[in-house]
Chain A
Amino acid sequence: MIMEASVLKLPESELFTDYYFKENTFDEVFKKNSPANAYYNRLLSLISSYSTNEFKILNESTKKSFISRGVTFATYSDNPKGNERIFPFDLFPRIIPQSEWRVLEKGLKQRNRAINLFIDDLYHDSKILRDKIVPVDLILSCSNYNRYMKDFKPTGGVYNHISGTDIIKHNDGKYYVLEDNVRCPSGVSYVLANRDAMKKTIPSVFSNFNISPVSDYPEALQEMMHSVKSDKVDNPNCVVLTPGAYNSAYYEHSFLAQSMGIELVEGRDMFTDNDFVYMHTVYGAKRVDVIYRRIDDDFIDPLVFRPDSALGVPGLMSAYRKGNVTILNAPGTGIADDKAVYAYMPEIIKYYLDEEPILNNVPTYRCDVKQEMDYVLEHIAELVVKPVDQSGGYGIFIGNQATQAQIEEQKNIIKAHPRGYIAQPTMSLSVHSTFIEDENKFEPRHIDLRTYTLLSPDKEFVLKGGLSRVALKKGNLIVNSSQGGGSKDTWVMEE
């Protein structure tokens, strides 16, 4: 340990005692055999000026502020009244230098614009399938294909209004897109809550650093919602549709509605009549024009999709197809975040935009292609296997952490349902110094970056920074909050 530490130039602070370098991993802050990344210098000297005890107190008071503000998510498994938990927050911010961010931002705009064109094409002429860029069978077997979208063009031609693209930094120091989330990406409220908490805890940093603000997100979101309203209305009634106060992401839903000053509605607040959508207000029915829904496709209209759904609005799809209401994200966008489709993303970008992809894609093996499956089965111990249609880190198999029995089991799972899985080389997520409460000091932990891109008919907006998620368990590579991850404030900063 001491040997390893000696190759790093660490700040003189007990908070960094025994900080170690993880082999074959990119450390966002420190470099082997050379000084720490220059853009972290001022932040490092600030953090090192705290004693361990002072830092602990700051950490505790931040946690408390999250609880009293109710910035929580609830789990109902072991308590019917719900256990509210905070999404653990780390006080050491992650810095992305402006020069790197400019490339990321450009790449995100490019990628999500291409995804939009791809979805539009699939629901219309399917040129990309005719031209055999993406195999037909891939789309035929995609469980997220929504036939109610066929030949229908949403207002403004936008499908993935809000995209959550997950990015990692590999040990080669390059950014890679790990997955696209174009259904209902969540987490953006934590970006704003984290920034708030950071400001309150260590206000001095904000006066000394040139950090890009994140507070423009609600305004950008609202502007985007207005941009996709029907031409028939001037001043659209926009709402956020939530499954209700018992949903684990309810805090975010209410935050979004509140920060835009629009109504937060549940399915039972709305009804349809003659293909228009209305909400029940104290003064009678009021028309609804744009719905930012935070419920899945299957639940939005019990007359069309799951008849047992009490979360949606009967007749919503019919009103939508008549163009009387805009739903975002559009139903059926899930075809683009199928992980087997992900494999084709570089080709998709080239096909629609005639540009080279700016962001790297992780090489991906499709198990439904015979040779690729053979490769996967043979090299499974070095690969990560993912189900194609899940998000939130569920069902991920990590070869180098599995026992022989687990490997055999996973092979059988793949063989039984090849279309259900893809495999990728084990990407080494970069690490970042993170305060570990049990140890009272900083240790390296794996992180990724969830970014947020908004698409309007003629404009793209990327939230500057995003949500850096941290795998708090030592050695863990899965950063999702549902799997015990935490997060960091993320600074896009002039060097």
Chain B
Amino acid sequence: MKVRIHVNLKPGVLDPQGRAVHHALEGLGFDGVKDVRVGRLIEMDVADNTSDEALDEMCRKLLANMVIENYRIEKLETA
């Protein structure tokens, strides 16, 4: 089973990287960008019987830092 883990900074946590990217986009002449937040995407291939609880635990224990980040688990259709 292919799984994507989307890790993002929690709302309210300042994202200096996102701010710099925002700035760079404006520098390139792209108007109308209101906000940029930079996150991380982790793609995994796991055994089909991997439980949701196990995926949650992976995120909480390692893939995301729960002090500053949120995560979202996206399961992709298997071919």
Do A and B belong to a common assembly?
A: no
Which residues of B line the A interface, CB within 8 A? none
Which residues of A line the B interface, CB within 8 A? none
